Amino acid sequence: MTGRADRTVRAGNQASSGELLELVRSGRATTRGALQQATGLSRATVGQRLDRLFRVGWLREGAGGPVDSPLGGRPSITLEFDDAHAVVLAADLDTRHGRAAVLTLTGEILAEKSGLLVVDEGPDVVLGELGRWFADLLVKAAKPADAVCGIGLAVPGPVDSDTGRVVQPPIMPGWDGYDIRGRLSRAFAEHAGEGTVSAAGAGVPVLVDNDANLMAYGEQRTGYPDCSAFALVKVSTGIGAGMVVGGTIYRGIDGGAGDIGHIRVGADALCRCGSYGCLAAVASGGAVARRLAESGVAAASGSDVRDLLTSGHPEAMALAREAGRQVGDVLATVVTLLNPGVLMIAGDLAGTPFLTGVRELLYQRALPRSTAHLDVVTSRLGERAGLIGAGALVVEYLYAPERVEERLAALGV
């Protein structure tokens, strides 16, 4: 699965309808004349290929553009991607909490729901409940089931993006190798009823990725589109990192990139993965909650720690800063290796105490060359980052040039 930054449009008669749509969506060519110049296609061929996109409602005519000729004349009619022809469903799972939404194709949230969803209850139960949430949200958004073009799901574990299955997830018992795509597609069909089968005869396509990856994707696309190396660290029940390089999520060879919570830091604490000394065992929201509970403070999860930090609880703030220092020590290596322009801290612990701790150790341990042009920031999208990223992932997948051609063929256009 490639990002828009990697795509090129073939010149001459090879340029497809999907590639013309890509030029319009990216803003690189938004008139018929500009499409002719960008592709080398004749006026008639451009018209024929655009006609396919108009027929399925993916393209529309906008207002007239400026007149380029000094002699005047009629303005060129601009072309626009019609983001109203379909919607996307997205969900973001944490260990004990879920969030779901209906989004437009440009990322606007039309309806949203959050609530208790415990991943320990297993994928069949959790994904079945998500199917019900999605059906309810479509009613709230006043959208029919057949308007859904795809579903995106963020999960707190490593994901093989080719299969959509989580691989040995430390904090998702019972999910290893489970067919998430198939179950969620069926759950949506069960609750939403008719209109959930695509023109190709298959269920609504489902894409699954790691939560930190999708948070990073959402944040980078909406707030830092010009940053060619972007890193996000999510510190909640566990610790994970997402990276967007050259406009594309960097996943590694099989989805394991960014799992920094299981880097050994020399401590003797037992991690949920079964090993001792992992960063997540000493510096995650769950680890801070355990230390608070041992001292008599009511805290059982990263979200409880977040609430304590919001209220200014002194012990929680001190432990969050200490956790930030431990994470910052590891991030010094990450920054040296990746050399990002933006390092974003997100999740339950992403407040001033934790961020202060991160900066203390990061700038102390990393070489000045690695941090000279680095911005260390907190989340802009907050709890919606994973939803925005999941929605964007679906849109970029479904409207990639090669997929556009497949979908047009399935529709008989």
What mean pLDDT do residues 291-300 have? 93
Residue 122: how many other CB atoms lie within 10 Å? 15
Residue 12 clears pLDDT 50, i.e. is over it: no
Q: How confident is the model at residue 64 (pLDDT cuts 50, 70, 90)?
A: low
Q: How confident is the model at residue 6 (pLDDT cuts 50, 70, 90)?
A: very low
Residue 311 clears pLDDT 50, i.e. is over it: yes
- Say what the pLDDT of residue 223 is: 96
**The dihedral formed by the CA atoms of 362, 366, 372 and 377, expressed in degrees to the nearest 10:** -20
Instruction: Give per-residue pLDDT as tens, 105-144.
Output: 999 999 999 999 999 999 999 999 999 999 999 999 999 9
Q: How confident is the model at residue 66 (pLDDT cuts 50, 70, 90)?
A: low
Q: How far is the C-alpha of 99 from the C-alpha of 97, rounded, in Å? A: 7
What mean pLDDT do residues 382-411 have? 96
- Say what the pLDDT of residue 399 is: 97
Comparison of pLDDT for 290 and 202, the residue scoring more: 290
Residue pair 76/35 in contact (Cβ under 8 Å)? The answer is no
What mean pLDDT do residues 67-95 have? 81
- Say what the pLDDT of residue 71 is: 47
Listed range (4-18, 231-245, 334-348, 393-407) with the worst mean pLDDT: 4-18
Buried b (16+ CB within 10 A) or exposed e, 363-386: bebbeeebbeebebbebebebbbb
Residue 65 clears pLDDT 70, i.e. is over it: no
Residue pair 223/380 in contact (Cβ under 8 Å)? The answer is yes
What mean pLDDT do residues 271-281 have? 91
C-alpha pair distances (Å), 187 with each of 83, 154, 181, 307: 26, 17, 10, 33
Give the residue carrying structure tokens 């406009």.
247
How far is residue 192 CA from its own chain's centroid? Answer: 24
Flag whether the pTM goes above 0.85: yes
- The mean pLDDT value of the chain amounts to 91
Q: How confident is the model at residue 171 (pLDDT cuts 50, 70, 90)?
A: confident
- Say what the pLDDT of residue 198 is: 45
Instruction: Give per-residue pLDDT as tens, 344-386.
Output: 999 999 999 999 999 999 999 999 999 999 999 999 999 999 9
Residue pair 232/242 in contact (Cβ under 8 Å)? The answer is yes
Fill in the amino acid letter for 26. Answer: S
Q: By C-alpha distance, which of 199, 173, 8, 207 is closest to 92?
A: 207
DSSP 219-251: HHHHH-TT-SEEEEEEESSSEEEEEEETTEE--
What mean pLDDT do residues 325-348 have? 96
Residue percentage of the chain with pLDDT more than 70: 92
